[in-house]
Amino acid sequence: MTLRRYLTANYDWTGLSKRFYTSKIWEIAYILFFAALVIVSFVVVLPSFGISFSAENIGKDGGVLINSFAPWRYVEIFDWTMAAIVATLLISNILRMYYYIIWKNKDIKVSFATYIREFWVLLFNFAAQPKFSKCNDRRYWLAHWLLMSGYTIMFIVIVVYLEWFQTDIVHKFWHPQRLLGYYATLGLLFGLFFALIGRLRKKDIKFQFSHVSDWLFLVMLTLTVISGILIHIFRINGYALATYIFYIVHMAVLVPMILIEVPFSKWSHLAYRPFAIYFYRIKEKAFQLQQHKEHKLSLTEAK
């Protein structure tokens, strides 16, 4: 865990990761700053466009008209802007990792074919996380995989398919929109429960030493999930004001978590880990190919 934090700070060209890992005041201050911006946006900015709280925003099927309070088009613009910022930071840091691992090493030449041939390693390690399956306690792999898959599904659904997901229609229980949400919620809850209980009991070596950033991430993700569940319950049962209040709470926790934890802190290893394995594999294959060529050349010269 120490090595992961060190490398995350090393690959981050902005220097913010180092700040957050060495000063809890910095990280908490940034979280509160972005949370405050979100609250101001809903309480001050959106009302200036004629959008405000109303307990009368109930649809024909009894559900809350959530888009009357937070129109999905406005939220989607913000989502894409936030995703672009996070993606730019992550990709630039991954390129920095690539520079240190491969590009800086002038002794090894990697062919374009090697990048293509080994690309499956990146996808496989992101989707299946096989390294965790080698742990003695297989529950750790399952919990981590459910947490990752649940988060990934919700991220894709919210960023790419928000119009479909944030609807004013109360779908049937078996509708794909609800089933995906329920799976993601259960996956997140299972992973969070496993991690929180492990860190509280401290019986396993991997849970005995928790950094502030570990706890902040877990607490923020837990608050995000709980507030999301409450939004769903209040929305389908027609409690408009409660839905809107917890929507603000949800976004006030979710936005700083994504803007801070994803590119600079704990959650960044979601991208760094598979890319690190991919780069290492490329370097290893290139080295093996280079040795093979040198061996063939020496045999030719010997003949």
pLDDT digits (tens, 9 = 90+) for 51-109: 767 666 787 778 898 888 888 888 999 999 999 999 999 999 999 999 988 888 877 78
Residues in CB range of 167: below 8 A, 6 or more apart: 66, 67, 177
| Helix 72-98 × helix 269-302 angle, to 10° | 30
pLDDT in tens, 179-217: 999 999 999 999 999 999 988 888 888 788 888 888 999
Looking at residue 55, what is its pLDDT?
64
Looking at residue 303, what is its pLDDT?
64
Residues in CB range of 268: below 8 A, 6 or more apart: 8, 17, 90, 93, 261, 262
| Cut 0.85: pTM above it | yes
Q: What residue type is assigned to position 300 of the chain?
A: T
Nearest partner of 112 among 126, 97, 102, judged by Cα: 102
Q: If you average pLDDT over each of 1-10, 75-84, 136-145, 205-214, which comes out highest? A: 75-84
C-alpha to C-alpha distances, 75 to 129, 166, 254, nearest whole angstrom: 32, 10, 13
Looking at residue 146, what is its pLDDT?
92
The first and second tokens of residue 288, run together, are: 């093996």
The first and second tokens of residue 118, run together, are: 């080994």
Looking at residue 202, what is its pLDDT?
86
Residues in CB range of 284: below 8 A, 6 or more apart: none
CA separation for the pair 165, 179 (Å, rounded): 11
Angle, CA of 208, 12 and 199, to the nearest 5°: 15
Average pLDDT, the chain: 88
